[in-house]
Amino acid sequence: MSGDQEPDQDALVLDKNEVAIILRDDADDVLTRLAFGTEPGEGEDVPQAVQLAVALLTRLQEDEDFHQEVLDWFDTYTAELDEN
């Protein structure tokens, strides 16, 4: 980044052992991507955090029942928070 540029307020900085699932509303769809602090190299073991993130993201995208269960859980969870 040169001195003339503003810092990217949307930049995501992860530690080398972190992985993030990024979700973005786009009209009537939710776009998804994974971000890695350090992406595993060819032939390296895939870290457990990456495995878990890929499994969750894949299941959310491919299993409509699970997707709805997560949304229902969120509604219940936030309602309980509001009660307290």
Tell me the whole-structure pTM to 2 decimals. 0.69
Q: Where are the domains of the chain?
A: 19-83
Q: Identify whether the C-beta of residue 46 lies closer than 8 Å to the C-beta of residue 55.
A: no
Could you tell me the pLDDT band of residue 6, with boundaries at 50, 70 and 90?
low
Q: What is the pLDDT of residues 19-72, one digit of tens each?
A: 999 999 888 888 889 998 887 788 888 889 999 999 999 999 899 999 899 999
Residues with Cβ within 8 Å of 49's Cβ and at least 6 positions away in sequence, in order, are: 17, 18, 19
Residue 32 host element (H or E): strand 29-36
Secondary structure class of 65 (helix, strand, coil): helix
Distance CA 38, CA 15 (A): 8
């992860």: which residue's tokens? 14
